[in-house]
Amino acid sequence: MQYDVVVIGSGFGALSAAALLCRRGLSVCILEQAKYPGGCATTYKRKGYWFETGATTLVGLDENMPLRYLLDETGIQLPNLRKLEVPMQVWLSNGEIITRYPDLEQWIAEAERVFGKPGQRAFWEHCYKISQQVWRVSLQQQSFPFSNYKDLLQAAASFRPAQLQLIPGAFRTMENVLRRFDLLDNRLFVDFVNEQLLITAQNYLAEVNELFGATALCYTLYGNYYLDGGLINLVKPVLDYCLANGATIKYGHEVTRIIPGNGNYTTITAKGEFTSRFVLSGVPLNNTQNLFENPTIKKKLQQYILTSEKLNGAFTMSLVLKRKMELPVLHHQLHVPRGLPLIGSKSIFISFSHPSDALRAPEGEQLASISTHIAHPQNMIIYDKQIIEKAILARLEEAGLVLPEDIISYQSATPGAWLFWTGRAYGAVGGYPQYKHIKPWQMKDARLDHKGAYVCGDTVYPGQGIVGVCLSGIIAFRKLMQDHYRA
């Protein structure tokens, strides 16, 4: 069958683009190698429990944010949303617990309590202002990054003088920002910022630019939500919208090759061939590059590819617990000053299922998802997972968050398991990290060959997180329509 668009993968960026394409009446076929949709933003079932695959919290429903835009454009409704009164707590190396309140004033007071008053108010007011501007401009400038003259014309038509205020932030790192507010000598605060940036921008303050860094640090100041049943209930409504508007999804179809020719693309899997006018890759650039035999496309993509030593993998654990108390905060980051054995990670992130969520675990039980970063995943072969498991559980017990007697069962996964489950190169997760030598306009834009092949997801602009990949899908849709239809 001939389709207008074949979409490779059903990650949330790809689904965002697919929904918008379906809304415009294009016929869409989604090819997914797994048996569940959603990629790294979904939920999978194991032994009767529903565990999160990767992401555990939902951000992006506020005004001027990509997910809000997607839902408003399509009319998609999300069921079972719970807005979190407190998005997160961070357990610092000195034993202090800092609560990331969603109200700016309350958060500043908490930051001043823990880190001291000097510089905190000015720093957080500055970061919050930058984050608001970034989200507003991101939806205004959907042709960014520019890669042809139409992008420039669209940018000129969408230009607002206030957008110029953001340009200097692309040349400053978060290290520069901390220095500006005399905060670089505050060791406790520097460690806090570094570990917070690692779970949002995938890198540290010396590398993350001000635009991405300020936005990443302020995500707890926007609406944070929990979805009963897990993030599969974010994915399903978007996929259902696509299917109701003529799309097809085929599971167990791992794409091995894309062949351009005669104004069409032939997408090949072990189970068949699919012909389309356009192709949209929702898998990482490293994987996307390997799908094309055309040396010109491979060469053009090579300048954007990051290899394993520049990426992060993850060590993850999924726990089933006896629920004995209702935790007021579901998400926690715990610093590990001496680092975890074998992998050296300096923090652990744990998310608990909501105590009233009966869809993921039966009454009287609760789930917990744990993750920690592993640098250069290709180079890290873990032969004894128990050493890391023991250290993680000991840190959680020390904090009183997970007690040994409450553990019913657990399982863990290394980058090798991520590579096996997802097919992502090196088992890398979290998207491409931010690096100071790569400015936002130097990141890969949505066009692959300037003919009919496009890309979105967490390795292209703007990258990380559900909210970022949603925006990447919006941009890919916009550029396809701009190139071939009346946008």
Task: Indicate whether 112 and 256 sit together in one domain.
Answer: no
- The predicted pLDDT at position 278 comes to 98
Task: Indicate whether 299 and 437 sit together in one domain.
Answer: yes
Task: Indicate whether 236 and 191 sit together in one domain.
Answer: no
Task: Indicate whether 299 and 438 sit together in one domain.
Answer: yes
- The predicted pLDDT at position 6 comes to 98
Q: 484: exposed, middle or buried (C-beta count within 10 Å: 0-12, 13-18, 19+)?
A: middle
- The predicted pLDDT at position 487 comes to 57
315 forms bridges with which residues in the sheet? 372
Q: Return the half-sphere exposure (C-beta side, CA atoms, 13 A cut-off) of residue 343.
A: 33
Task: Indicate whether 333 and 399 sit together in one domain.
Answer: yes
CA distances from 323 to 231, 363, 367, 429 (A): 21, 9, 9, 30
Task: Indicate whether 75 and 89 sit together in one domain.
Answer: no
Instruction: Tell me the C-alpha distance between 294 and 131, whole Å.
Output: 39
Residues of the chain where predicted confidence (pLDDT) is lower than 70: 325, 487
- The predicted pLDDT at position 97 comes to 98
Task: Indicate whether 151 and 269 sit together in one domain.
Answer: no
Residue 140 three-state SS: helix
Among the candidates 404, 427, 450, a domain finishes at 427
Task: Indicate whether 130 and 207 sit together in one domain.
Answer: yes
Domain residues for the domain of 45 are: 2-80+227-306+433-484
Task: Indicate whether 111 and 184 sit together in one domain.
Answer: yes
Q: Which residues contact 80 (CB under 8 A, 6 or more apart)?
A: 227, 228, 229, 233, 359
Work out the mean pLDDT of the chain and round it to a whole number: 95
CA angle 448, 452, 455 (to 5 degrees): 40
- The predicted pLDDT at position 17 comes to 98
Neighbours of 105 (CB within 10 A): 11
Instruction: Tell me the C-alpha distance between 410 and 465, whole Å.
Output: 25
Which among 51, 18, 64, 56 has a CA at the least distance from the CA of 412?
51
Task: Indicate whether 75 and 200 sit together in one domain.
Answer: no
Among the candidates 159, 193, 222, a domain finishes at 222
Task: Indicate whether 340 and 287 sit together in one domain.
Answer: no
Among the candidates 171, 205, 222, a domain finishes at 222
Q: 270: exposed, middle or buried (C-beta count within 10 Å: 0-12, 13-18, 19+)?
A: exposed
- Under DSSP, the state recorded for 406 is G
Concatenate the DSSP letters of all residues of 30-91 into one string.
EEESSSSSBTTSSEEEETTEEEESS---EE--STTSHHHHHHHHH-----SEEE-SS-EEEE
Task: Indicate whether 382 and 292 sit together in one domain.
Answer: no
CATH of the domain at 473: 3.50.50.60
Q: Indicate the number of domains in the chain.
A: 3
- The predicted pLDDT at position 53 comes to 87
